[in-house]
Structures are given as C-alpha cells and as structure tokens.
Amino acid sequence: MSPRLYVYRICLVATLGGLLFGYDTAVISGAVDALKTHFNLDALALGWVVGSALIGCMIGVLIAGKLTDLAGRRAVLALSATLFLISALACTVTHSSGQLVMARILGGVGVGMASLISPLYIAELAPAGIRGALVSLNQIAILAGMVLSYYANAWIASRGDAAWLTETGWRIMLGAMSVPALLFLLFTLTIPESPRWLLKRGRDAQARAVLVRISPESVDSEMDLIRAAIAHEQAKLSELFRPGTRGVVIMTMILAFFQAITGINVVMYYAPTIFTSAGIGTGTALNNSVIIGLVMMAFTVVSMALVDRLGRRPVLLFASAGMGISLTLLGIGFSHAGASGWGLLIWILTYVASFSIGMGGIYWVVVSEIFPTRVRGTASSLSVVFLWGGNFLVSQFFPAMLAAQKGHVFYDFAAMCLLCFFFILRYVPETKGKSLEQIEHELFHV
C-alpha cells in the first residue's frame, strides 16, 4: 500500500469517531416525543433526558487530554468507541428515565473524547500538504453521522405505529448506534499510534516505523519538526489567563458559547418536535430531519470553499445575519404552518445553511489556528467545554421554552444571533492568509 493510501485509510478510521459523534448527537431527535410519552416526562425532565449527554461531553473533553497523554491517541479512540457501544446497548434495555440518563451521559463522555481526539489524531498523522483536507473530512463525517441517524430514525419509525414507537421503536433508534460503534472499535485495533505521542514517550524507533509508512522521503526532518514542536507546548492552565493571552482565550470561549446558544441544538435535537408541535405528522417530521441533515452537509462543503477565499470574519458575519433572519421568519411562520410543514422547513433549512457556512465549521478553524503552539491544546479544550455547556443549557430548557412561548421562542434565539453578529464584528480578528507564526506575532506580540 502506498504511503498516501495508508494515510487515507488510517484517517478514515479516525473519522468514524466523528461519524459516531454526529450520530449520537442527533439520534435522540427521533425519540423525543416517544420518550416523553413512555416515561411520562414534563418539559424540564424531557430536557434533562435530551441534554444529559452533553454533561458527559464536557467530562469527556476535560479528561481526554490527560488520558491521551498517558495512554496514547489510539487507546483513547478505542475507549471512546467502547463507551459508544456500551451506551447504545444500555439504552435498549433501560427501564427508567434515570437509567436512560446514565446511559446517555456515558455515551456523551465518548462524544467528548471523540470530538477532541479524532481531529487531533488526524492532524498528527496527515502530511502537511493534505492535513487541512483530512481534518475537514472529520467535520463531514460528523454531519454524515447526523444524516445517518435521521435516516435511520425515519426508517425505524415507518416500521410500526405510534404505540409501537412509544414502546419499542425508540429503543431500536438509540441502540442502532451499537453497529457502527463496534466497527469503530474493531478498526481502531488496525491503526498505528501517533508518532508524535511515541516521540513524547521516548519511543523513537516506533515513531520512525510509523513515519516510514506515512512519509518515507522525509522521516528525519519530520522527527526533528515534531521534537521542536513538543519542546514549545504543554502550557499550564494559569498561562491562559496571563495578560496578552487572556483576551483571546475569553474571545474563543464566548464565540463557542454563541455557537451553542444561537439555536443549532434546537434543530439537531428537537426538529421533529418543532414540526409536530406545529401540527405536522411524525412521519413527515422525521423525513424533514433527513433533508435538514443533507443541507447541513452540503453547506459545510460550501463553507470549506469560502473560508480561505472570503475570510473568516465576513463569512461569520453573513452567516450570523442569515441565522437571525431565518429564526425570525420561523417564529412568524410557526403558527401558520400547513399540514406538510413546508413553510417551517424552508426557514429551518435557511437557518442550518447559514449555520453550516459560518459558525458550524469556521469556529473550529478559528480555534485551531488562533493560539500559539504552547497553549493550543489547553486553550482549545477550555473553549470546547464552553461550547458543550451552552449546548446543554439549550437542550435542557428548550422544551419548557417551546411549551410556554410557542413560536415566539425563536425570537429569543434570533436575538442571540444579533448579539453574536456584533460580538464578531467587534472582537473576532481576521486570520485569512496568515501563517500561524504571523497570527501569534500579531495577537500575542511575540
């Protein structure tokens, strides 16, 4: 096997972590109404069942860095796959909402680990010339997992009536993730450890053996570059809040929070509930979710084409405005939805298209390039914790907000988009076309 094909193969295995990330994040959407009826949940209890996985995500992000330093990237990828598998199987046999919450938290830990380690592993294995494309492939895998879960939910729901879905169908929806999780676990046994981790552990011969298969023409220079990078990282948490670094760290934390509270989880977790609340049938609602997932994938590809051509800030500003306008129109149209829900679907599609072009992908680009090497891992982890925290708040309280406000709830999220627009305009720097060293010099004066 050629070095290029070998790299593609091992990176595709790593993207299965992203696929499971997307699947686990979105699969609950098809089961929300069934869970509400099956366990007799009120709005806040329903929000807790849905949002509990995000508590696990925060835990996973917080512990993944230490675990991967101790055990290696491959071992943590395998652990995340194991957690996905156990969680999926546990969801199929749970007998109470409390048991379901525990199973979802466990799966959430796997999601948090995968969200941090899968792109890290890919970045460390891929040669520089194709690194950007392969890391971006992980984002596509996340969206593919979401689409797969939406399609699986729609297919499973079509196998029986509403009573069957309430009693049995939701268990199959949540348990179906065990199949890709098992495949992910088995495939992780076939990929190498990161040469970067091996060098940090003093296992030079093993690192060289991996690099020989990846980039045989430049093994020695690659090892020298990795050693130099290792020597300038591993910052302590306190360094993030020193003068000169603190402002950028806080900016990325707030940007992460805005990515969460501008409404994307409302769509990912509750799209079928939004449609059924407007009087649209369950089957149509689940089929609409498949369309939503496909649009998100398509416009993420558009974002990849625009981000280096137009710049980060212009695309983020355009997308934030598009999200706010779409949510406003969604609020207006909610009470006038027809039986097919096409009016609601159009405004949800324009919202997810705007999100996918802007905040969906570009947030990750900004976080990956804006910090100096020595603090990048620690600062990125802290920012992602704020993203998952914001996601949890939205997931927890949206059912109660929808019950109390109906369509007016979307005006709240539109207001968050407006605040996000002005925050980006005032505080987010442009990094288009600049080297990592130039960004570091301009922002941190080093």
Which domains can be identified in the chain, with CATH numbers?
Answer: 1-191 (1.20.1250.20), 235-446 (1.20.1250.20)
- 3-class SS of residue 240: helix
pLDDT digits (tens, 9 = 90+) for 301-323: 888 778 778 888 899 999 999 99
DSSP state, 191? Answer: S
Residue 234: what residue type? Q
**pLDDT greater than 60 at residue 203:** yes
C-alpha to C-alpha distance for 150 and 267, rounded to whole angstroms: 12
**pLDDT greater than 70 at residue 276:** no
- Orientation of helix 264-277 relative to helix 373-405, angle to 10°: 20
pLDDT digits (tens, 9 = 90+) for 427-440: 888 877 765 556 66
Per-position DSSP letters for 88-145, written without gaps between them: HHHHHH--SHHHHHHHHHHHHHHHHHHHHHHHHHHHHHS-HHHHHHHHHHHHHHHHHH
pTM exceeding the 0.85 threshold for the entire prediction: no
**Which residues have C-beta within 8 Å of that of residue 247, sequence separation ≥ 6?**
none
Alpha helices, DSSP H only, in 158-245?
162-164, 170-175, 178-188, 195-200, 204-214, 219-230
Alpha helices, DSSP H only, in 278-408?
282-310, 312-334, 342-357, 359-370, 373-405
Q: Please tell me the predicted confidence (pLDDT) of residue 248.
A: 82
Higher pLDDT, 86 or 301: 86
pLDDT digits (tens, 9 = 90+) for 13-29: 888 888 888 888 888 88
Q: Please tell me the predicted confidence (pLDDT) of residue 339.
A: 46
User: What would you report as the CA-atom Rg of the chain, rounded to the nearest whole angstrom?
Assistant: 22
Tokens representing 251 are 């900016």
CA distances from 242 to 239, 246, 383, 434 (A): 5, 6, 16, 24
Residue 331: what residue type? G
**pLDDT greater than 50 at residue 183:** yes
Residues in the chain: 446
DSSP state, 1? Answer: -
Whole-number percent of the chain with pLDDT over 90: 25
Residue 181: what residue type? A
C-alpha to C-alpha distance for 209 and 211, rounded to whole angstroms: 6
Computed over every residue of the chain, the mean pLDDT equals: 83
C-alpha to C-alpha distance for 229 and 444, rounded to whole angstroms: 18
